[in-house]
Amino acid sequence: MKTWKVNLIVLWFGQFLVNSGMTMITPFLSLYLARDLGVVGEHEIGIWAGFIFAANFLTSFLFQPLWGKLSDKYGRKVMLLRSGFGMAIVIALMGLAQNPWQLLLLRLLNGTISGFNPAAVALISGTTPKDRMGFAMGISQSGQVAGTILGPLIGGLLADAVGFRPIFYITGGLIFVASMLAMFLVRRSSTVKKQPNCRHNPYCPV
């Protein structure tokens, strides 16, 4: 199979798992706070649930530009693996949280180290032939959207089947596997030529 197709398949699954991991707690977060983390009262549960759910996306919004800049400097695959392995560990640790403060801090940390999606998109765009770029970008985006939409459904089904805490271990393990696959299978294609640096050359071809 061609390199760009392998990259697309592997990174699609990675994006799906990362996005589902961010949203899977939606159906059972309130119950997790009440039953496992000792939060009492509807008002307190609602406040904590709102902060904890939003925390991941807040820090992700703040730190995405930084990871994008570092990606240009150190490489896209390095940033992708940093995010993938980091999120796998942090999500697994959420299953060990003993109080809402610990879960909130882990969600903030999870958003801080995120950046899997931009790095994946950059890798796909950098290895896909121009005549297949639209197809590859569409498939890539479908992985993100599918993970975001199906994450709550998966979380609800797993909560009913295995309980709350094991969900975090399972999700962390799956993201770890996806990151391992990316580390060994995702590579730059030799058929995609590197664009010349035209910043200071007005005669450089576009």
Interval 98-108: pLDDT, tens: 999 999 999 99
Q: What is the mean pLDDT of the chain?
A: 88
What pLDDT score was predicted for residue 193? 46
The string of DSSP letters for 85-96 reads HHHHHHHHHHTT
CA-CA distance, 102 to 168, in Å (whole number)? 14
Cα 174 to Cα 169: distance, rounded to the nearest angstrom: 9
Q: Identify the band that residue 197 occupies on the pLDDT scale cut at 50, 70 and 90.
A: low
Contact 156, 27 (CB under 8 A): yes
Residue/partner pairs of 59-65 with CB below 8 Å, 24 or more apart: 59/108, 59/109, 59/110, 59/111, 59/112, 59/114, 60/111, 60/112, 60/114, 61/111, 62/111, 62/112, 63/111, 63/112, 63/113, 63/114, 63/115, 64/114, 64/115, 64/118
- Whole-model pTM: value is 0.84
For 124-162, what is each residue's pLDDT tens digit? 988 899 999 999 999 999 999 999 999 999 999 999 899
Asked if 48 and 39 touch (Cβ cutoff 8 Å), the reply is yes
Token pair of 160 as six digits: 């009913």
